[in-house]
Amino acid sequence: MMRISAALGLIAAAFLPSAANAFGGGKGTSSSPTEPLVARSSRRDFLATGATVGAGVVTSGVITSPPFGSGEAIATAAPSSAALRGAISLPPIGLGAWAWGDSIFWGYDKKNDGDLAEVFDYAVSKDLAFFDTAELYGFGRSEQLLGDFRAKYPPEQADKVQIASKFAAFPFRTKPQDVVNACRKSVERLGNKPIDLYQIHFPNAWSNAEYWDGLAMAYEEGLVKAVGVSNYGVDAVRACH
């Protein structure tokens, strides 16, 4: 359990307590409405990338106070990238790749792979090559496509492509090694490069602590550059962090 603390220090989990304030779900995370954003940058760096806080309004990279008076008054210029505690730096916009390979929900057809490659190339050309995928998306097909598209680039360009992927917390996966094994397969599909951000896709009714240890093990083995969690509530994030 303790070993995950160091690895999770590399993600933006620290900002989620304040996100709880914005959506009314936190405990013991009060803050003054007039408190400057810079004073809480360790928890709110992600907002500077253009995310909306509660009912806040985002205009030209500046987050202003909510029009209905229900949130915090904050304003800051958006940086060109968001740093995850010094481990990796991400562009302000990423592309979700769930539909890339998923025929069950999104009607994926292999004949459209050329169109997906064009989208990939365009993102690379605009320095916005950050893609979110998961082993569940197309049962690995999404990861395989991203790996194949990246492999067409010379090393100096391929290294600029950043990918986040996720571990599926199925009930039959109960051990830290399950996370590591799944991560290795994702790495293979993605072209045998370390995954920039690897996350638990969703919490389980049990084994969550084992999953967090698995994240730490994947990080320690050099399979991933940073780790995190997805679809976790505020209390769950606090528990693993």
Starting at the edge strand found earlier in the chain, the sheet holding 162-167 runs: 95-96, 130-132, 162-167, 197-200, 227-229
Give the strand pairing for 57-59 and 62-64. antiparallel
Give me the catalytic one of 108, 122, 137, 153: 137
Q: Is 137 a catalytic residue?
A: yes
pLDDT of residue 75: 39
- Would you give the DSSP letter of residue 76? -
pLDDT of residue 84: 58
pLDDT digits (tens, 9 = 90+) for 86-125: 568 888 889 999 999 999 999 999 999 999 999 999 999 9
* pLDDT tens-place values along the chain, 241 residues long: 434 433 443 433 333 333 333 223 333 333 333 333 333 344 334 334 433 333 223 223 333 333 334 444 333 444 566 665 556 888 888 999 999 999 999 999 999 999 999 999 999 999 899 999 999 999 999 999 999 999 999 999 999 999 999 999 999 999 999 999 999 999 999 999 999 999 999 998 888 999 999 999 999 999 999 999 999 999 888 888 7
pLDDT of residue 77: 47
| 78 close to 86: Cβ distance less than 8 angstroms | no
Q: What is the distance, to the nearest Å, from the Cα of residue 137 to the centroid of all Cα atoms in its chain?
A: 15
Joined tokens for residue 51? 């995310």
The fraction of the chain above a pLDDT of 90, given in percent, is 56
CA torsion angle for 195, 168, 146, 107 (degrees, to 10)? -170
pLDDT of residue 6: 39
